[in-house]
Amino acid sequence: MHNLDPLRDVTAGEVVAPYLHARAADFLRGLRIHGESGSDSAGTDEAARTLRAAARRISGTLHTFRPLLDTAWADQLRTELAWLSGTLALEHACTSRLVRLVDALSRLSSSGAPVPAARGGAAVGAGAGAGAQAGAGAGAGLTVGAARAGALLERQLTLARTRAHSAALQALGSARFHAVADAVALLASEVPLGPAGAAPAMEVVDAPAAVAERRLLESVAALPLTRAAHPYNADALALAAGESQDAPWHRTRHLLRLHRYASEVLHTGGEPDPVLYESARALDRHRDAAEAATAAAAAARTPRIAPATAYALGVLHADQRHDVEAARFAFQQAWRRATAPVP
């Protein structure tokens, strides 16, 4: 149970509203940066980051503290903010994925020591089996294939990034976005509350946050943390179940984010909770590595690619699944520290 002393003598609305006002102001600041950036790519990137971060926090707060708010208003705005943050995140995700994969290919090819194949000897992609046989035990095969694999990934992910950029520009110029911006501008000065919002904070505000915390704890309890505590356990490399294993971890990442935002509302004055920072970073790394592995596997399924290229992509996929495993280990360690009893 959280310490509720700061919530004495205030209503639930008076606790939640300042946080939403501040995040709405962040959103409007991102909108202003976007308007002033013009063709400046750095300014455009900063604007997108600011808008995404504010939209996520507003949406998460509306979700967690929905019982205290005008539910129809909260549901509609949350839906629109999810659309916006998801659209704006695509370009950044493509860019980050390309950088991660190209850097990994460079590291693997220069080391001359391919990552071990996935457990069971299965290969990635339609052509990867022949590629693995042709390149097995030959560092030169990886070096040759890495350049072509990098070029293939760059073509595919640059195309995806260009499409995401166009979609973001279209979204930011749409009537739908302007309606969202108007709603957030109103949120900067007024939060539509439900009947529970006028109740004493001591009586009602902790319950929604406790629900978010309980869902997170249940999700973490369902993870194979005992197995993840052993580095190099190879679970993340099992191709038959590797990607399907990721879903519970992604869900935990989402629930941890909601819990962190609730903590910002109630306990940290709107600042990120440093206790949970490491755990959140580990799950971000897990998500990034899992998505990069998926991109490598998709590239390996490209028709008529050379065996050396398919082999390099298979090695790259295994490398990223190794990073998935490392991120699970890092989360287990960080979570244990974050939840350790205070002496």
Would you say residue 119 has pLDDT above 50? no
How much is the average pLDDT of 284-306? 96
How much is the average pLDDT of 132-141? 51
Count of structural domains, the chain: 1
Q: What pLDDT is stored for residue 143 in this prediction?
A: 81
Q: What pLDDT is stored for residue 158 in this prediction?
A: 97
- Domain span at 328: 5-338
Identify the band that residue 9 occupies on the pLDDT scale cut at 50, 70 and 90. confident
How much is the average pLDDT of 225-244? 68
Identify the band that residue 117 occupies on the pLDDT scale cut at 50, 70 and 90. very low
Would you say residue 333 has pLDDT above 80? yes
How much is the average pLDDT of 275-285? 95
Q: What pLDDT is stored for residue 239 in this prediction?
A: 55
CATH number at 95 reads: 1.40.20.10
How much is the average pLDDT of 294-323? 95
pLDDT, tens digit, 9 for 90 and up, residues 33-43: 988 877 667 77
Tell me whether residue 311 is in a domain: yes
How much is the average pLDDT of 66-91? 97
CB-based burial label for 184 (10 Å; 0-12, 13-18, 19+): buried
Cα(152)–Cα(209) distance, integer angstroms: 46
Would you say residue 126 has pLDDT above 80? no
Tell me whether residue 112 is in a domain: yes
Q: Which of 196, 209, 156, 174 is nearest to 19 (CA)?
A: 209
Tell me whether residue 151 is in a domain: yes
pLDDT, tens digit, 9 for 90 and up, residues 156-186: 999 999 999 999 999 999 999 999 999 999 9
Tell me whether residue 343 is in a domain: no
Look up the pTM and report it: 0.86
Q: Which of 278, 274, 262 is nearest to 213 (CA)?
A: 262
